[in-house]
Amino acid sequence: MGYTLAQKIIRAHLLEGEMTVGQEIGLRIDQTLTQDATGTMAYLEFEAIGIPRVRTELSVAYIDHNTLQSGFENADDHRYIQSVAKKHGLYFSRPGNGICHQVHLERFGVPGKTLIGSDSHTPTGGGIGMLAFGAGGLDVAVAMGGGTYYITMPKMLRVNLTGRLQPWVSAKDVILEVLRRLTVKGGVGKIVEYAGEGVATLSVPERATITNMGAELGASTSIFPSDEVTRAFLKAQGREQDWTPLASDPDAVYDEEITIDLSALQPSAACPHSPDNVKTVGEIGQMKVDQVCIGSCTNSSLSDMLKVASILKGKTVAEHVSLSIAPGSKQVYHMLADCGALSDLIAAGARVLECACGPCIGMGQSPNSAGISLRTFNRNFEGRSGTKDAQVYLVSPETAAYSALRGVLSDPRELGEQPLFPMPEQFLLNDNMIIPPASPEEAEGLEILRGPNIKPFPVSEPLTESISCECTLKVGDNITTDHIMPAGAKILPYRSNIPYLSKFCFAVCDEAFAERSKQKGSGIVVGGENYGQGSSREHAALVPLYLGVKAVIAKSFARIHVANLINAGILPLTFEDPADYEKISQGDALCLAGIRNIIAEGTVAILENRTTGETILLQVKLSDRQRRILLAGGLLNDTKGA
Ligand code: MIC
Ligand code: SF4
């Protein structure tokens, strides 16, 4: 029996376990990346582990999220990360050099290698045939120190691509169709592999748009084969030597398969407030728009920007629309300037932003009240834009640019014939904003620069014999880490200050949560399906830990978040019968008697609801390693004890 592409890369990196679906496996990690919003914490954790120099083949620290410097905090954190990078053996991508995933694809990604990043969209690297996972900061810190990365062996889902995209229909429309069919839970526990004759018609940046938004499917990761298209891209990046051909075996066995006929796709949009709420532009109709934002790690490549420039050329953005454009990297920005396309954007009235995440994470450009915003981004969760009642629609760059001109949601196919946008034979290569690490000798004398914003992070205590506390919060299905620990311009600068962040924990769901938790001192959170989907931010576990959350009981969990809960020492428990969710109300007194013994070796825990007198069975689905971590009170305690 042959192997799928992902299985081949897993086999070549397998350090522990067997490749049996559902079993925990340990992987050797070749490359890591961090961004600044999760990076400060990741490097504090790396320092706490105490390894002087990274042991990966390559580790890169990017600054791309917290680039609005409205106080000293972000600049201090940038300086801290820069000094850590130089001392501990990492490359440092300076602010302005671009969004981590775009730059990594351009300058560092290598087919067949493993990559983990402290950002959920790290699977962008799958566009170039990497096996790339989003992870919590502590997992990245451990991998930087040469430690094993653990995942549950996923199922394999093959997406068979046939046909070819129609003019003005985009890679974004492909992934929106996958999301429409599979939903934000459809990828959980799976690796999505793209295959079939349609693959060769898609460029590397188009493939990367698709693997990037595999994060929204909840997938472990997504991957494309490495073929002649990949080779041409790497060659144009001056890195042909990094290319290797990679594909699944002809007799590989997949657990599931779906087929997408590229020629049948239409321009589409994910409607508020979920990336799987997908309709075609035609179905939604000519809705008036207030704002259009183009960019983000999903759609900020040179070819995306050139398409946008060709649509805007010689026209003016509609009077009532604010159009912002953020090229994904300095390479993209510089090439736009050199070929004159930047002038077309400027002339049309676009507000050109620096190469960074920007509006995608609420760092500026929040829409007007109840504003309709079309964005080429990957997430449209409620409140993420910074305006609570804004309505965000996720669309392709083509749909975004054409709609910005017309002022209403519009189908770019009306533009008629599409010009060709061939990939350049040679990208502009200038890595002067990437600072290499110091030599080991030089590193010894280097000082780490810490600002006053950096506060100690919370560390859990070893697990107690029993847990008795209140249900301090009950929430519904598909709670995102943006609900648990919101981001945005006002809060993101405090990612290294957990006490300050805690004021905003769950504020989108319940503004009183933080205060209530502090008063009670401890608590249990109850959630529905897919609890913790979205971002990889470990702050969504560290802040609840700080607020005394001992356990989260949910119908099901998202992959990265459950790993973060365990790393923080918070118990993730699932209902044996999902209907029992109804048997707990906020404020109920709950007890998990003898929980320490159960975490040590049991598979079922009994929750006593002392308010109603009922008992509820909970599943304890943990590997031996996870049990050990929870007993120790989190991964840092476990690592120190080992
Ligand atoms: C996001 O898109 O939500 C982020 C901001 O990039 C996060 C990381 C973070 O919260 O810092 C992610 O996707 O992991
Ligand atoms: Fe940045 Fe947005 Fe991509 Fe997250 S999804 S890495 S905030 S551009």
Read off the pLDDT of residues 302-340 as tens digits, 9 standing for 90 and up. Answer: 999 999 999 999 999 999 999 999 999 999 999 999 999
Ligand at shortest distance from the CA of 38: 1
Average pLDDT over residues 270-292: 98
Q: CA-CA distance, 449 to 437, in Å (whole number)?
A: 16
Residue 76 DSSP one-character state = H
Q: Please indicate whether residue 99, judged by its CB atom, sits closer than 6 Å to ligand 2.
A: yes
Q: Is the pLDDT of residue 1 over 90?
A: no
Spacing, Cα 209 to ligand 2 middle (Å): 12
pLDDT tens for residues 51-66?
999 999 999 999 999 9
Distance between CA atoms of residues 265 and 592, nearest Å: 51
* pLDDT at 640 (0 to 100): 72
pLDDT > 70? residue 392: yes
For the Cβ of 361 lying below 6 angstroms from any atom of ligand 1, the answer is yes
pLDDT of residue 642: 56
Q: Is the pLDDT of residue 241 over 70?
A: yes
**Residue 88 near ligand 2, beta carbon < 6 Å:** no
Span 161-168, average pLDDT: 98
CA of 38 relative to ligand 1 center, distance in Å = 8
User: Residue 228 pLDDT more than 70?
Assistant: yes
**Could you tell me if the CB of 119 is within 6 A of ligand 2?**
yes
Contact between 99 and 378 under an 8 Å Cβ cutoff? The reply is: no
pLDDT band of residue 359 (cuts 50, 70, 90) is very high
- Which of the listed residues 40, 41, 535, 561 should we mutate to test ligand 1's pocket, taking the one with most ligand atoms within 8 A of CB? 535
Cβ of 86 less than 6 Å from ligand 2: no
Please state whether the peptide bond connecting residue 78 to the residue before it is cis, i.e. omega within 30 degrees of 0.
Answer: no
Q: Give the model confidence (pLDDT) of 567-597 as tens digits.
A: 999 999 999 999 999 999 999 999 999 999 9
pLDDT per position as a tens digit, 104-132:
999 999 999 999 999 999 999 999 999 99
Catalytic residue positions, numbered: 64-65, 119, 379, 535, 537
Please tell me whether residue 463 adopts helix, strand or coil conformation. coil
Say how many Å lie between the CA of residue 365 and the centre of ligand 2. 15
Mean pLDDT of all residues belonging to the chain = 97
Contacts (Cβ under 8 Å, ≥6 apart) of 248: 2, 3, 4, 5, 7, 8, 158, 193, 195, 225
Closest CA to 530 of 570, 483, 498: 483
Q: How large is the average pLDDT for residues 365-383? A: 97
CA distance 64 to 117: 14
Query: Residue 641 — very low, low, confident or very high, per pLDDT cuts 50/70/90?
Result: low
Nearest CA to ligand 1 atom 2: 535
What's the pLDDT band for 422 if we cut at 50, 70, 90? confident
Using alpha carbons, select from 320, 308, 322, 313 the residue that is nearest to residue 399.
Answer: 308
